[in-house]
Amino acid sequence: MNQSKKHSYRSLMALCLGLGLSLFSTMPKAEAAKEVALVSGAFRRSISVSDLEYLAKTGKARGLLKDALKFGRQNPETVSKLLNKKLELPIGLTSRLMTTRIGNVIINRISKIIYPLNVPNPSVSVPAFRAGVINGMQIGKGGLNAIHFLKAYPNETMTINLPALFGIMQKAESIAGLVKFFSDSPLDGLKGSKP
């Protein structure tokens, strides 16, 4: 290749790189969750993530969250501790586990409870949940809590389907029962599938 062709090739590569970078810099960034919508049929109430974050930092509730906690007879300080409860997880291992067959079954179950507003379709809710977990772990420097998850959830409104949540809660009377439910039940989904 002569000098003129090398120079033209480099100029073309630089132009392509510049165009590619400018396209990526103008693409809209995925929004973090700004509110959590509690949904049951036609009923919908939204709690702002900033109110949840305030509760996590101060132990004091405000706005609709304050009323909801009072109505549910929940102690704000206890809820604050739950919001701040940090799970220390290795990002690489977590990412790999979420793409295993059992991980997919568990995430599909969760995606029926937690999903972007008006989009309960697993083709959207499953990647959104995965992104919330992995990006939340990056925010939390290897640990994940509810606030990190919400800050990393790639949709402005994260929906919690209350009937689906209560259905799971009825099947699991304790945290140990919940862990057993999610670790044993996914095998039911695998029995009928072929490797």
Regions in the chain scoring below 50 on pLDDT: 7-9, 11-29, 190-193, 195
Yes or no: say if 31 and 135 are a contact pair by the CB < 8 Å rule. Answer: no
Specify the pLDDT at position 175. Answer: 55
Q: What is the pLDDT of residue 146?
A: 93
Give me the pLDDT at residue 117, please. 87
* Residue 5: predicted pLDDT: 55
The pLDDT value given to residue 176: 58
Contacts of 28 (CB under 8 A, 6+ apart): none
Spans of all domains in the chain: 35-48+86-191
Instruction: Check: CB of residue 34 under 8 Å from CB of residue 48.
Output: yes
Q: Using the structure block, give the residue that is written with the tokens 């009928």.
A: 192
Q: What is the pTM of this model?
A: 0.70
Residue 164 corresponds to which tokens in the numbers above? 């689906």
